[in-house]
Structure 1
């Protein structure tokens, strides 16, 4: 990071060194409500831990009175590690659920009484029972979708009786009729309660209730914790916000950090509204904007700004413009391929070149929208003998070789050996398979990589803690295992865009960027969902430090029909003279394959969801039949009343306007309008076409 420092000789110099002016402003903000709007790569974790350390250093709060919460065990583990590096011990850094579980266990005898209920690790078994009782499908995919709906409802504080209306308002796409989902939800809660079981959302519900309904419990908790810090605040759900409100009471010693441009979990109930409305709740809050990007090259930063800059109706609090602070690097590349195997093979070849040039495999990632896309890349990497890791696969500390190694290290630590820690760890792991050179591949290579990661962790600990010994190292392993905070394992990362949130690599390949995948098909017809897909691409772009590649394929299988078109989010990003743009135009001329949507008035490219839906640029004149639009809205109102759903669930205003402008006379014309898919066509197509014909 660039060397922004306070003047030498100040009392806080040790804590405030290496902070830029905006970070410094956030760290030194007075005790009370503080909102840090932190863009990708702007050093938010550094800012958080230094602010906590500064508050403790200045005597505003003791370490034991600080509770920092975030959304993943990995992020919480990183916060604890960074705080220890600043000499802060005793401050709590946990996920919302881990903090609630700890509190609920402590207060259970007073607020509930009797034996504590068991925690339900996976709700699928109970969901299956509930689905069977309600008469819903019990196939594994249906059960997972039903579980997701129940999780969304509970995170949104929606009761079973209110689910149908709330799902309609939120434009949910449930796996079964809303009344049936509500019945499954109702039976799920009944079975769970009868069995004295809690799910993860119950931890939050019961914790909030304990503090709201028991004054003595609330007083004891609020006397213990007086300073709160919330990371990734754009991802808070209504239920998590309720818990945070219960923690705070009438106090305002709260620091929140977030970036509305990285809101990508709305499907799970997350909302940036608390972040964007922070100053309305706390009018005297200190607001700091972090926009200096220390992660990515200016070239990557420029592309990221253009991706998010095309978003529609961005709230003021999300209008962060990143400013790259690193030395210039290569321009992001764009590439189009005939089919997915060709795309994967080209990506694997480029990864091989990066490896040969010295980029570690652990600093390379291939990111895609859905997990099903990984198989093609697994095969392509395997053919070139390139090691890879599937993020979201088996947990590191659950691997057999890691469990075996931990036992061996713990046994050795009890004897109190002396010597250089990394050398000692390596010697202890050699009998378990840590050879000097890596095996050729397969399971043996994966085992070797896991053991090597343990040695590298020993090297990190030795560098951070002077005189670290084997006992301290084993304690670090135990802490990381509890926090699910694994060390880095050598191998190219294969991950979904959602799973990549919070991570970064030297080289990132964003693949499969075609319409129907990015944005995902079910987002069409919902402008808010399409914009979330744009933010997801933005998150992917901002994971790259130096090398960034974006690619797409025109067919799924080798030799398949090349009828796909690249993602609408790429229009305006790729220069018109770029080879991929020329290739797309020549292919369209040759075989009629899909091309970028064009304005039906001026012929220019359509760059946002509303323009694609209308089929014209916003600035081009509309050929709108006002009388037809009024009749369409009248029909929609009647259908919405009959279905007992909000009007926009039938069709949005933008879709009706597109129909009234384009006046399609057959099903092909209807489905050509973005937002009218097979489901809407089946439900409403005949009625709409009949109305259009009588209006003609």
Structure 2
């Protein structure tokens, strides 16, 4: 054995060797109760796994007696994989539901008098049956919202009798009156009991009941599991806490890990007070803070600290202030745009530029508040030939309500006089499926459906601004072109995601878009200060997804030509500079420097043509083509429509509208 090998740390020492001071303190705290406050990017999973491994290597833990609880199967799998790499096997790393399922399946004969009941395969079907009992007219969206209300009630331990008062106190936006929801909830429970089935909330409730009411079951489970670790503890709900308390049985061998700044799931029943009040429940708890951020540059970290630092101080555990550990990077950018299509076009152009510079598209993300915002970004990226993937939701044209609407629009176009104005025609068709202008319905799923249909109306308004004579048949054809382009398979692409879906992920470059009041914070949160602050934390989560490049943007109007009166998000006050960077000026300046000679002359000729075309149609110039596309045309000088269509930013519709004029400009002719 060499001197180097003899001096190399082994066993427990090796587990702690690669950790920083804060991580080491957390990993060495193997006796509970322990609370690890882990900020974004501070190595939370690394710390958890090294803590478990250190406890095993020091003999404090027997691996099979450790239960690590996570919120996703992916996170549980990652824990098991990392523990295996540290030479530790046998630890149970599971989600709450997976752990409860395993225990209840084993104890069902004792607790329930028979085998494990079947799980509800289709909750919406049972909810629909319950709603029918009370003669409620429901569509799929309202059924999803009813199911969501029942899940919220069960996770917060509210009975059907409790629901109306609890829902009002929590400011719930249900699809029906609270009394009607409570009646459906009660019938839902009766139908499950009739069929002898359980839903996923029942798994936790019945398992907790088994431990609370059956001493032999509690003795066996508590003898098996002696040490508990709970990840993302800020997201625990009352039902999960009840099961955790039942597992513990009054013991304190518990380590919880969480970040109060990333509490963004209160609407599902999550209660951050379990984390914030941990030291009150366990006065002798050891509290360790992880604040060294290894994910983001100091510039991104500084912005995140400033953003969350403007939130009202919450009582409970000490706060977190991230400290960036990476080398310096670019300052975050704050960009203001005249309207949403301009914002999307600028973001798409920036993504195109990043990809062309060598950054993999998979290392770029565009984050928005609601899924309905994805449509304009899907279209803008498609126009520039930038591949994308949509996370946490269906592509816009694959959403059931959009597919239904397109079918109805196609049918209406087949029997309508082409002289009819487009926008009123689209509104009339969508009104037939319940869409009402300016009146989003209560309930998350119903509101999502309304927003998707509104996006179709907005698209019609935008297209009429470009093509005043566009007919309903032409609009339907345009929708088909977009759908076909966006159905192209994309394995590696820019990630489009809601801020909620982005939690736990990270990218080199992140664009946080649509930052206007009424979107973030979302309109329905404005009546409740606590809900507004959760929206602030949601923005904090979005900001901390960026490793190196961060851009935050907003638009003053929803559509081109509209009144530019939308206020930027209140969360940017004191964070963003008063004046935003004029994106198009920056792009134009860069192009003017790069292009000279014949290419520069052609570029200026194309810009003059674009200005005249835009003025004639009363639309902003960038709606025709942005500067990046004009630069590509000037540099390649396409000689045919086929060659032109291969360039970024030249979709089928723009090729049809402007292709001949562009080729004329390339040939030196006057397109007008």
TM (norm. structure 2) is 0.71
Cα pair 2:277 2:316 within 8 Å, conserved: no
CA distance in 1, matches of 2:505, 2:73: 13
Aligned to 2:286: 286
Aligned to 1:504: 506
Deviation, structure 1 residue 394: 7.4
**Correspondence 1:107 to 2:95:** no
Query: Which runs of structure 2 are paired with 1:76-95 in the superposition (5 Å)?
Result: 76-95=76-95
Query: Which runs of structure 2 are paired with 1:456-475 in the superposition (5 Å)?
Result: none
Deviation, structure 1 residue 210: 0.7
Aligned to 1:558: 560
- The 3 A distance-change label for structure 1 pair 527 and 204 is same
Deviations 1:253-302 (A, max 9, x none): 11100011110000111011111111111111111011111110000001
CA distance in 2, matches of 1:387, 1:122: 34
**Correspondence 1:545 to 2:547:** yes
Aligned to 1:222: 222
CA distance in 2, matches of 1:159, 1:286: 36
Deviations 1:126-171 (A, max 9, x none): 1111112123331222111111111111000000001111112222
- SS for the counterpart of 1:161 is coil
TM (norm. structure 1) is 0.68
Cα pair 1:261 1:318 within 8 Å, conserved: no
Aligned to 2:432: none
Cα pair 1:513 1:552 within 8 Å, conserved: yes
Deviations 1:53-111 (A, max 9, x none): 01111111211111111111221122122112212211111111111111111111111
CA distance in 1, matches of 2:284, 2:318: 20
Cα pair 1:259 1:318 within 8 Å, conserved: no
- The 3 A distance-change label for structure 1 pair 340 and 261 is same
Structure 2: segments with no counterpart, 5+ residues? 1-6, 396-483, 586-672
Aligned to 1:184: 184
- SS for the counterpart of 1:160 is coil
Deviation, structure 1 residue 339: 1.5
Deviation, structure 1 residue 530: 0.3
CA distance in 2, matches of 1:150, 1:9: 53
Cα pair 1:67 1:225 within 8 Å, conserved: yes
Deviation, structure 1 residue 577: 4.4
The number of residue pairs the alignment matches comes to 490
Aligned to 2:389: 389
Deviation, structure 1 residue 317: 2.0
Aligned to 2:170: 170
Aligned to 1:668: none
Aligned to 1:141: 141
Query: Which runs of structure 2 are paired with 1:123-272 in the superposition (5 Å)?
Result: 123-272=123-272
Cα pair 1:231 1:256 within 8 Å, conserved: yes
Cα pair 2:335 2:580 within 8 Å, conserved: no
Aligned to 2:306: 306
- The 3 A distance-change label for structure 1 pair 139 and 374 is same
Deviation, structure 1 residue 122: 3.5
Aligned to 1:676: none
- SS for the counterpart of 2:317 is helix
- SS for the counterpart of 1:93 is strand
- The 3 A distance-change label for structure 1 pair 394 and 525 is closer
- The 3 A distance-change label for structure 1 pair 378 and 262 is same
Aligned to 1:325: 325
Aligned residues: CA RMSD: 2.0
Aligned to 1:363: 363
- The 3 A distance-change label for structure 1 pair 29 and 389 is same
- SS for the counterpart of 2:150 is helix
Aligned to 1:28: 28
Query: Which runs of structure 2 are paired with 1:407-426 in the superposition (5 Å)?
Result: none
CA distance in 2, matches of 1:180, 1:444: 44
Structure 1: segments with no counterpart, 5+ residues? 1-6, 396-439, 450-489, 584-696
Q: Once structures 1 and 2 are overlaid, which stretch shifts more, 239-248 or 88-97?
A: 88-97
CA distance in 1, matches of 2:290, 2:568: 33
- The 3 A distance-change label for structure 1 pair 95 and 394 is farther
Aligned to 1:53: 53
Deviation, structure 1 residue 243: 0.4
- The 3 A distance-change label for structure 1 pair 526 and 574 is same
CA distance in 1, matches of 2:506, 2:241: 28
Cα pair 2:343 2:553 within 8 Å, conserved: yes
Cα pair 1:39 1:291 within 8 Å, conserved: yes
- SS for the counterpart of 1:257 is strand
Deviations 1:318-339 (A, max 9, x none): 6211111100000111111122
